[in-house]
């Protein structure tokens, strides 16, 4: 009995490490819109040019997530976690030492993106590995996404308050790096599954071919994440310049979106059991697209606030549910499938900065902001097509309340 309790406690600690990984990476992504202006002012360039530099962070994330599956077969999980944490600290030290030089910010974005991508890849796989029960695994993945969104509640709000008090922007990144300190302590005292040894034994289990729906869902994830990040990145600038809100209020509006996302994820893990998974995704995707479109087209602060909350509630469960839906397209879900979907989603993150930055520089910030609803519409259509070609029902039967396996 005592040994069983110890195993449960240990699994709980590993799960919390995964949650902190999601919180850390979410902080890097959601704080972008708040620090964009101050960083541009510090280096004396346009916000659109700084937005291009954030592509380095997102690109590093995408590359390391894509490589994550292969790395986990060669290097033990604990070493990879420690590598990501140490890399984060090194990046902060380099940025502090050479902050006046623009190239240091580019390097910092690459290093911190490496850490964030590694954390996401490791956390996603570890949750799947230590929670073999499908119902429990699905719940933990949704909760991990909750922590990603919760970072968007806390970090932009804190950033808005600090920047409103003229605190130097790098302090925001110092605060985010404190999550790494907490993870360092937890990783050092934890034991991790021996994935290196297991990979060879279970290799034959994951030979099933991927169907068309997996690639269509991946493409939908790309446009969804790209649209979401364009929306959250340019929302503060749009509110300040076109709705005439203060930086503190703009930060509060951004936090409202991520707060609604967090609430939606928390409630969604119960609601999702009541509906067919594919229909649930289509309904939430459609409503999120509708309210996001209204946010971009109606220049009224009160209406925007309401639409932001409603968009966040329905938007919250779409990405995690699409990952679950893609994983159901095969009988046995390989880690590489999850890494593939995450990598494509991260490519959407990477694309959001150069595309929206280009639009902001050549047209306007308003045009960059309003482009997000077009991206959502494309992603929605792709998922509807994926639903048509889905094999999930044939393989697993009715998907009502049936999570990823």
pLDDT: is 397 or 187 the higher one?
187
> What value does the mean pLDDT take over residues 300-308?
91
Contacts of 300 (CB under 8 A, 6+ apart): none
Global pTM reads 0.76
Which has the minimum average pLDDT: 160-164, 198-202, 337-341?
198-202
For residue 309, pLDDT over 90 is answered with: yes
- Average pLDDT of span 386-399: 74
Give Dmax (Cα) for the chain. 66
Closest CA to 69 of 349, 345, 337, 329: 337
Distance CA 322, CA 142 (A): 11
Mean per-residue pLDDT of the chain: 83
Mean pLDDT of 127-132: 75
pLDDT of residue 17: 93
pLDDT band at residue 133 using 50, 70 and 90 as cut-offs: low
Contact 263, 313 (CB under 8 A): yes
With 70 as the cut, is the pLDDT of residue 9 above it?
no
Go through 11-43 and write b for each residue having 16 or more CB atoms within 10 A of its CB, e for each that does not. eeebbebbbbbbbbbbbbbbbbbbbbbbbbebe
Query: Which range, 63-77, 148-162, 300-314, has the best average confidence (pLDDT)?
Result: 300-314
Q: Looking at residue 197, what is its pLDDT?
A: 63
> What Å distances lie between residue 329 and 181, 348, 400, 403, 405, CA to CA?
38, 22, 15, 12, 10
Angstrom CA distances, 72 to 123, 246, 334, stand at: 11, 46, 13
Which overall architecture, per CATH, does domain 11-192+211-396 show? Up-down Bundle (1.20)
Averaged pLDDT, 293-316? 90
- pLDDT at position 403 is 39
pLDDT band at 1, cuts 50/70/90? very low
- The answer to whether the beta carbons of residues 371 and 359 sit under 8 Å apart is yes
- Domain borders along the chain are 11-192+211-396
Percentage of residues in the chain having pLDDT higher than 90: 21
Higher-pLDDT residue of 286 and 38 is 286
pLDDT of residue 252: 83
pLDDT tier at 205 (50, 70, 90 boundaries)?
Answer: low
How high is the pLDDT of residue 404?
Answer: 38
Q: Which residues contact 200 (CB under 8 A, 6 or more apart)?
A: none
150-164, 165-179, 271-285, 346-360: range with highest mean pLDDT: 165-179
Angle, helix 102-130 to helix 134-164, in steps of 10 degrees: 150
Highest mean pLDDT among 248-257, 302-311, 348-357: 302-311
Per-position DSSP letters for 112-140, written without gaps between them: HHHHHHHHHHHHHHHHHHH--SHHHHHHH
Give CA–CA dist 164/251, Å, rounded: 10
Task: Tell me the C-alpha to C-alpha distance, in Å, between residue 293 and each of 67, 181, 355.
Answer: 35, 40, 19
Statement: residue 138 has pLDDT above 60: yes
By CB neighbour count within 10 A (0-12 exposed, 13-18 middle, 19+ buried), where does 261 fall? buried
Render pLDDT for 101-115 as a digit per residue (tens, 0 to 9): 878 888 888 899 999
The number of beta carbons lying within 10 Å of the beta carbon of residue 367 is: 13
Count other Cβ atoms within 10 Å, centred on residue 100.
9
> Tell me: the pLDDT tens digits for 338-348?
778 888 887 88
Query: Of residues 68 and 115, which shows the higher confidence score?
Result: 115
pLDDT at position 21: 93
User: Among 24-28, 94-98, 211-215, 380-384, whose mean pLDDT is lowest?
Assistant: 94-98
pLDDT at position 37 is 82
DSSP state of 94: H
d(CA 182, CA 205): 36
Q: How far is CA 129 from CA 81, 144, 175, in A?
A: 15, 14, 30
84-111 average pLDDT score: 86
What pLDDT is recorded for position 2? 43
**Does residue 5 carry a pLDDT above 60?**
no
Q: How far apart are CA 112 and CA 102, in angstroms?
A: 16
For the ranges 135-139, 238-242, 326-330, the one whose mean pLDDT is highest: 238-242
């Amino acid at each position: 009995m005592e040994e069983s309790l110890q195993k449960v406690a240990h699994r709980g600690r590993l799960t919390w490490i995964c949650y902190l990984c999601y919180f850390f990476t979410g902080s890097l992504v959601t704080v972008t819109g708040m620090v964009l202006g101050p960083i541009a002012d510090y280096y004396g360039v346009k916000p659109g040019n700084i937005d291009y530099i954030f592509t380095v962070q997102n690109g590093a994330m995408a590359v390391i997530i894509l490589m994550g599956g292969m790395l986990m077969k060669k290097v033990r999980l604990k070493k990879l976690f420690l590598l990501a944490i140490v890399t984060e600290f090194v990046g902060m030290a380099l940025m502090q030492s050479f902050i006046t030089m623009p190239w240091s910010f580019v390097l910092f974005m690459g290093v911190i993106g490496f850490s964030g991508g590694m954390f996401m890849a490791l956390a996603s796989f570890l949750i799947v590995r230590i929670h073999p029960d499908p119902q429990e695994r699905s719940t933990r993945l949704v909760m991990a996404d909750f922590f990603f969104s919760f970072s968007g509640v806390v970090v932009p709000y804190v950033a808005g308050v600090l920047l409103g008090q003229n605190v130097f922007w790098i302090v925001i990144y110092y605060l985010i790096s404190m999550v790494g300190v907490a993870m360092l302590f937890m990783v050092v005292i934890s034991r991790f599954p021996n994935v290196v040894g297991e990979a060879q034994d279970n290799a034959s289990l994951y030979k099933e071919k991927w169907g068309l729906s997996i690639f269509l869902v991946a493409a939908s994830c790309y446009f969804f994440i790209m649209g979401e990040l364009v929306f959250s990145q340019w929302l503060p600038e749009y509110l300040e310049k076109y709705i005439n809100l203060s930086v503190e209020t703009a930060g509060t509006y951004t936090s409202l979106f991520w707060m609604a996302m967090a609430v939606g994820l928390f409630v969604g893990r119960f609601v999702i059991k009541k509906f067919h998974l594919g229909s649930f995704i289509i309904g939430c995707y459609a409503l999120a697209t509708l309210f996001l479109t209204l946010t971009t087209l109606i220049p009224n602060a009160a209406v925007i606030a309401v639409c932001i909350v409603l968009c966040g509630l329905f938007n919250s469960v779409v990405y995690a549910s699409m990952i679950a839906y893609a994983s159901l397209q095969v009988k046995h879900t390989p880690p590489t499938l999850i890494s593939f979907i995450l990598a494509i989603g991260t490519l959407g993150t990477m694309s959001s900065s150069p595309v929206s930055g280009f639009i902001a520089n050549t047209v306007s910030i308003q045009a960059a902001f309003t482009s997000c609803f077009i991206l959502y519409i494309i992603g929605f259509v792709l998922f509807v097509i994926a639903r048509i070609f889905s094999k999930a029902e044939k393989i697993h039967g009715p998907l009502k309340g049936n999570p990823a396996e």
